[in-house]
A and B are shown apart, each in its own frame.
Chain A
């Protein structure tokens, strides 16, 4: 019945191959971009079809084995896909948002050398991500897991001639590799632990079915889940492995939207969701996840205050929102986390693409005026709302959504997370306090961005300011669609307390319900309390907006006064808490120095020295023998005697 599921990853793979192999010969941008977009759109259609099939189906979990991969001993690894409500939601988000980003790229990347390369990578990325979410066992998932790593490497380093771009790409890959270390360790320990009970499997359904063999709350399950969580922090840019994401803004803007809004960074959340049964068994891990999530959300939001590069603000905002999702996972609000993942994909993709539209226009203007100002610096913008009305309105709607203003999508998903972090059996009021602060901070720095970019006086160089155009339709149409979703996307999951049916949560219940019931993960509390909390969070969000308005609209001199007064704090935040410098100091540089030591001292001097020493001794002895003796016969005789002595020695002493 779900026999065509394989088409979903297949189409983008096909597109990647076509554009990768023949793109250079095709040359025509419309054809290249058309193929890339069409392929992912076809995937989207198949995804929609399967999604509705699944809705109508009573059986919610379907495994499709495509072929065998390796069989060794008791272990059989297949190429297999898994369709359940969780992966169904994910494929919709990935292909849906992915299609819009592909469409957007057609116009955005116009005129770039390597146009075909870009679409090939983009398709390959979509393929990897779809393998990741559809993979029916941990190794197929790992293919996607590493595949998105590779593609992000290629896409972040798309402008490979720039040193900063290739450095950022390398950093992203290596930091992700640290996470992969965790993923693999988790996988092996899990495999080993289950094998100890006679179950040789890496298949998700079987793992879920046999999870009860492991001791809930035991050390083993805690280690397993912590290792997996380390993997998740790499992909989803959480403390301690978040440093790659802001640097990854070196890639073209559609890449930022694809990687950092809709796909790659959500992999960690998805993975925890996929293995929710294991995580639910390890309360200490859950607590760790919640703490890390809340801490990351706060840290990133604070850095977002001080950035002037429009994309960097969005990057830190992404890290911060991901922290929110991890907080949700940590307090057991799995479906709320996935819900926020989805709404975030809508509004963050819209924001990134909107910023791309702005950068595109600024770039155009500067190019026109032969200037080399930074088209991404918000200090060069201002007053753009009249120049780019569509970009402005879509951007504004998405900003309202992310700020958590009621009735917009972000409000519903964020509020569910807030409620769970307060009232869940795994939650704590402190989580709620942090999360609600972050909500206020988010509203502040996002509106700061909007005010600096679209409102106020235009600070662009006078020579360029009249040449800022609105973007073409391939750019604005995706923006409008995404803005629409950012507004209404939350209505699929309106919670009961606000008069909705929480369809989203109910749809995912077959995936998350069992674990939540078994380990007593639920949010409880009176309606009055819940209403109060909602009202409070809304107030704080509005307060954040008000502060942004106060500082960047009403009294633009205020920010400068603030930074002057708290110069130390400002510098600390502006420099991203010096975490990159700290890592360089503690890990990277010592590693490099140790490597130099191993090579220059150990390998060249010691290992080679011994060898050369031997050679030297042999040479010396040989030379000595040559002086004292007559010919070769002697050497042979010595060799024979030595040999005989050794052999005799064996008999005597052996």
Chain B
């Protein structure tokens, strides 16, 4: 189904336009950029919400745009939107809106800051829409740049090391991806005579198993780093710890998702045989990472790092679900990814608030916030409970579907993963105890939540409860796209 009005391009270029306006207005005015950013983000959110509501639970592209672009290389500007991408785009738009609100008091070069946030949003949306591999790669790389500067310029003391580490990791992954994309392009061109980067066409390329494996590894190199999957994770805690609050929200909410999206939209369908062969490896790394990150999280003193490691642990769960390769687990994985983004964003937001009020992020120095800041603490507790998988709250629904799905294929994996749920309780409760309970902290700012903070936290909290009690709307959107993607791979 195609609609004449280029809605997808609108969605894509709205943030870019907003970013430019931010830059221009930011030169002389320090409050204008944030309003521009807010309006832009709100606009994107409304459009993406509309796109979700327009979705019918059928397979295929609801919206599709295809234009010539660089003809001599067969590069096209192809965008497509189905249930899967619309859910993730909605999530992106929602979190970006909150990221703008969280950074409302940004005083250091606000024009550039908000412009970068919007560029990041555009890049993330582009990744989720692009169906041409070069276009995809372009957006993929584009995500890197604003994030690099957000961490490197607006972060904490060790921001530069963190930014470089982030850049290095992801760049190496991306280069592998580029190499594989070009090789695949040439190979396909040689076979068929038409040189194209279109995803659908490239799926038809005939590859030997060895070739598939090599290509697959190159693609996955880019994706597992972004997820991040153990042992390619060590950039994430630093990036979180040193980055600004909005950066953490975006990392957890936008960037991490693109890794998983890349796997199921590109890597798995392009190289199904290789994917099937490597699933056990993937599952193994996911399981190890699940425990490993939980274990390390328990040792952390910096509360932001605890949340960062918990994020790695949860993403291990997501990847495990993918490795199970069935409908239940996949829907669970995607659901958990969405829910985890919301929960983790909530956690990072409150962590930033705690730091603002106490000037500390260390468990050794914090404590007793329940007494001084009851409302803020109540939200923190809610997000923590969601994060440790309390039934009825967001994460649980995803986790249980993953576990059921995994169990029907590999019972042992699932049993081990259930153990991971146990571990999530230990570090999360340590986090709660160290921040909320006790009585040993004198916050210099006694103000509990103010109105803008309420505005950020309430939607997150409502979603955490709503998605926990009734995740069906999301699952409905995911069902057909995922089952189509599963079919491509086929069951071994």
Contact = CB atoms under 8 A, between A and B. Distances in A.
Interface of A: 24, 67-73, 75, 139, 142-143, 145-147, 150, 153, 157, 160-161, 163, 166-167, 170, 173-174, 177-178, 180-181, 184-185, 188-189, 191-192, 195, 591-592, 594-596, 598-600, 602-603, 607-608, 611, 614-615, 643, 646-647, 650-651, 654
B403 A142 contact: no
Given A161-B368, A189-B411, A647-B183, A70 B234 contact: no
Given A71-B475, A608-B234, A139 B391 contact: yes
B214 to A, nearest CB: 7
Interface stretch (B17-25, B134-142, B341-349, B423-431): B423-431
A75 B469 CA distance: 16
B403 A188 contact: yes
A33 B81 CA distance: 53
A177 B331 CA distance: 25
Contacts of B370: 160
Contact of A607 (B231, B300, B328, B408): B231
A199 B179 CA distance: 48
Given A163-B438, A177-B421, A595-B298, 12 more contacts: A67-B470, A70-B472, A72-B327, A139-B400, A147-B392, A161-B368, A174-B426, A177-B422, A181-B419, A188-B411, A603-B234, A650-B183
B418 A188 contact: yes
Interface centre among B164, B326, B368, B426 (most CB of A within 10 A): B426
B27 interface: no
B201 interface: no
B53 interface: no
A180 B422 contact: yes
A560 B158 CA distance: 64
B408 A195 contact: yes
Contacts of B332: 72
A177 B294 CA distance: 15
Q: Main secondary structure on chain A at its contact with chain B?
A: helix
A191 B404 contact: yes
Contacts of A591: 295
B415 interface: yes
Contact of B391 (A143, A595, A598, A608): A143
Contacts of A177: 421-422, 425
B295 A595 contact: yes
Interface centre among A157, A160, A643 (most CB of B within 10 A): A160
Contacts of B436: 160
A181 B328 CA distance: 21
Given A150-B385, A160-B437, A70 B421 contact: no
Contact of B295 (A145, A185, A598): A598
B164 A615 contact: yes
A70 B471 CA distance: 6
23 contacts: A24-B374, A71-B472, A72-B331, A72-B332, A73-B326, A75-B404, A146-B391, A153-B429, A160-B370, A160-B438, A161-B439, A173-B425, A174-B425, A184-B403, A184-B421, A595-B295, A599-B300, A602-B292, A615-B164, A615-B168, A646-B179, A647-B186, A650-B214
A157 B292 contact: no
Interface in B58-93: none
B354 interface: no
B317 to A, nearest CB: 13
B169 interface: yes
B210 interface: yes
Contacts of B403: 184, 188
Which 7 A/B pairs are nearest by Cβ-Cβ distance? A166-B437, A160-B437, A161-B439, A143-B391, A599-B299, A188-B407, A177-B425
B433 interface: yes
B390 A181 contact: no
Contacts of A191: 404, 407
Assign chain B's interface to a size class: 35 or more
A79 to B, nearest CB: 8
B1 to A, nearest CB: 25
B418 A181 contact: yes
Interface string B192-218: 000000000000000010110010000
B148 to A, nearest CB: 15
Contact of A166 (B327, B400, B433): B433
A191 B414 CA distance: 13
Nearest to B210: A654
A146 B331 contact: no
Contacts of A72: 327-328, 331-332, 401, 475, 479
A139 B471 CA distance: 14
B472 A603 contact: no
A509 to B, nearest CB: 32
Interface string B217-234: 000000000000001011
Contacts of A608: 234
Given A177-B422, A647-B183, A161 B437 contact: yes
Interface centre among B400, B403, B419, B469 (most CB of A within 10 A): B400
Interface string B258-301: 00000000000000000000000000000000001001101110
Contact of B433 (A170, A192, A602): A170
A296 to B, nearest CB: 22
Contact of A185 (B186, B385, B391, B418): B418
B165 interface: yes
A607 B296 CA distance: 13
Interface centre among A153, A184, A591 (most CB of B within 10 A): A184
B299 A595 contact: yes
B98 interface: no
B397 interface: yes
Contacts of A153: 429
Contacts of B295: 591, 594-595, 598-599
A602 B299 CA distance: 13
B353 interface: no
A614 to B, nearest CB: 7
A166 B438 contact: yes
A67 B472 CA distance: 11
Contacts of A181: 418-419, 421-422
Given A191-B407, A647-B183, A70 B296 contact: no
A598 B472 contact: no
A629 B132 CA distance: 38
Contacts of A596: 299
B296 A603 contact: yes
Contacts of B392: 143, 146-147
Contacts of A614: 168
Contact of A598 (B182, B183, B299, B438): B299
A180 B287 CA distance: 19
Interface centre among B368, B437, B470 (most CB of A within 10 A): B437
B328 A73 contact: yes
Contact of B211 (A150, A185, A650): A650
B299 A192 contact: no
Contacts of A157: 437
B446 interface: no
Contacts of B407: 188-189, 191-192
B105 interface: no
A506 B210 CA distance: 69
A31 B230 CA distance: 53
Contacts of A595: 295-296, 298-299
Given A174-B429, A647-B186, A611 B234 contact: yes
B187 A598 contact: no
Contact of B371 (A142, A150, A161, A592): A161
Contacts of B299: 592, 595-596, 598-600
B469 A69 contact: yes
A638 B187 CA distance: 23
Nearest to A149: B390
A75 B332 CA distance: 12
Given A174-B426, A611-B169, A614-B168, A650 B421 contact: no
A170 B430 contact: yes
A448 B39 CA distance: 73
A651 B390 CA distance: 53
